[in-house]
Amino acid sequence: MFAEVIPMSQQFQRPSGRGARSAGRPVSLSADPLRFASAYHAPVLAAEVVDGLVTDRAGLYIDGTLGGGGHSAALLDVLAPSGHVIGIDQDGEALVASEERLVDDAQAGRFRTLRGNFADMEDLLADANVEAVDGILLDLGISSHQIDEASRGFAFSADGPLDMRMDAMSGDSGGETAAELIARLDVQSIADLLRTYGEEPRAWSIANAIVEHGAFATTGELAEVVRSAVPAKVEVKTLARVFQAFRIAVNDEMGVLERSLEAALNLLRPGGRLAVISYHSLEDRRAKHFLRFGNLQGEAKKDFYGNLLTPWNLLTRKPIMATPEEIHANPRARSARLRISEKKPEPQSS
């Protein structure tokens, strides 16, 4: 599936040009993979993100998935006093946690937050008078805090309301909860959803058990019904896939990712970089296609001479993955795949 990791020294040999200002020497952080971890969340691949994303220490960087502010903290750590980070999250709890953590940087005018969906980042940033940026990070999925909070309804290991909306804490979420979604769907639609978003091989039996059960109120109820439909030895993996599938559907994660990749390309200055960390193959496939070909279908469009027509210089031929040391320290890093591309200069008009 996901293969070889290219050594960092080979991945980020920068071309000369504007972005090369800081690239002569690596911006590497300390080797401790948990250096930027907090009780809220441990950011994965923090050193690799900073190494790959920062081309100008005085630049402006967008952390599109702020969470507990771990990646923002890592970026601020290597940026010059004149460098800036704007963190976006749709979860109000993430904004509060990061603002508390990075209060000194906020007071120094180097860090600020924006609440909203990263798919809307062009509008969010336009409202903040930002037209172009040097780098954008998307660390997809949910934070450890969101999983740990039973009341958010993401976890199969804790009982809470069957919600799963990432923006549930912002007070103005108009979205459907997982319980409402399940109540609305028929057995065929649930099976399709589990197959598409969870790659679940027992989708049909689980969908039948769900529909037979009727309405759900809690994560515990859903977990119990799923358990009853599969052999005990595959219970945990199945629960992870089923909960992932409903979470992706509730938050339209694939549609949001597609819109945000396009938005990121529009916002980056030429020479600016986009880094995407994905945790499952559906996300990774989209990131891989877009960061190589500039389209979501993975279509290689070529000019008359056979040259690939793409807005990107792909910096990671294969995804970057966590070291065994990082996986040992933070098991969540096991499935993380980091891909980075640099936006090409605009073609010269003659």
Ligand X SMILES: C[S@@+](CC[C@H](N)C(=O)[O-])C[C@H]1O[C@@H](n2cnc3c(N)ncnc32)[C@H](O)[C@@H]1O
Residues that bind ligand X (CB under 6 A): 41, 43, 65, 67-71, 88-91, 94, 117-119, 139, 141-143, 166, 256
Contact 12, 23 (CB under 8 A): yes
The least CB distance from residue 305 to ligand X, in Å, is 39
Contact 331, 37 (CB under 8 A): no
The least CB distance from residue 222 to ligand X, in Å, is 21
Task: For ligand X, give the closer residue by CB, 271 or 319.
Answer: 319
Q: In the chain, helix, strand, coil percent, each to 5?
A: 45, 15, 40
Phi and psi at 302, nearest 5°, equal -125, 155
The least CB distance from residue 257 to ligand X, in Å, is 8
What is the Cα–Cα distance from 270 to 346, expressed in whole angstroms?
7
Task: For ligand X, give the closer residue by CB, 166 or 226.
Answer: 166
The least CB distance from residue 276 to ligand X, in Å, is 12
What is the Cα–Cα distance from 185 to 210, expressed in whole angstroms?
10
Task: For ligand X, give the closer residue by CB, 72 or 316.
Answer: 72
Give the Cβ contact number of residue 298 at 10 Å. 12
The least CB distance from residue 314 to ligand X, in Å, is 22
Token readout for 321 is 């993955």
Task: For ligand X, give the closer residue by CB, 268 or 277.
Answer: 277
The least CB distance from residue 99 to ligand X, in Å, is 13
Q: Which residue is nearest to ligand X (CB)?
A: 67
For helices 187-198 and 235-250, what crossing angle results, to 10°? 100
The least CB distance from residue 30 to ligand X, in Å, is 16
- Enclosing H/E stretch for 278: strand 268-278
State how far the alpha carbon of 116 is from the alpha carbons of 90, 143, 215, 315, in Å: 4, 16, 31, 29
Contact 331, 337 (CB under 8 A): no
Task: For ligand X, give the closer residue by CB, 89 or 206.
Answer: 89
Q: What is the DSSP letter of 320?
A: B
Task: For ligand X, give the closer residue by CB, 154 or 156.
Answer: 154
Task: For ligand X, give the closer residue by CB, 99 or 224.
Answer: 99
